Amino acid sequence: MSKRILVIDDEETIRKLFVEMLKDTPYQVDTANSGEQGIELEQKTRYDLVFLDLKMPGLNGVETLRRLWELDPGVPVYIITAFHKEFLDQLGSAAEDGISFEILHKPFGADEINLIVRSVLEGPVGFQQ
């Protein structure tokens, strides 16, 4: 069974970018346009990796992170954002509560995304000489 990736971002261009960057991988990529929709998808499907926007209307990324963690505390979450400084207190509180996450700063490139995906879903990526 193919591993599954969920991309939660309110910007359609970002969601499409992830789908395009990962189209040649063996992974199933699903997208959600809101934290609420992402939570609904996680309730139906267990994901192996989540990319999560931080600044969204409705449930922001930190609130969505907390709900994802309640559903599946083992899922790796990469928060994608250009606004992390606005959410430092909330992110710090989530980390203090034992919620694990990584932060990926916008802008990012396909190489960076593919490296993250391979290292999370396939194990540590070795360096070739």
pTM of the model: 0.90
pLDDT at 124: 64
82 pLDDT tier (thresholds 50, 70, 90)? confident
Coil, strand or helix: which one is 106? coil
Domains of the chain by start residue, with CATH: 4-122 (3.40.50.2300)
pLDDT tens for residues 19-78? 999 999 999 999 999 999 999 999 999 999 999 999 899 999 999 999 999 999 999 999
**Measured distance CA(40)–CA(15) in Å, rounded:** 17
- Contacts of 85 by beta carbon, 8 Å cutoff, 6+ apart: none
Task: Check pLDDT > 50 for residue 128.
Answer: no
Check: CB of residue 104 under 8 Å from CB of residue 79. Answer: yes
Cα→Cα distances 33→10, 43, 99, Å: 4, 16, 23
**Measured distance CA(10)–CA(34) in Å, rounded:** 5
pLDDT at 38: 97
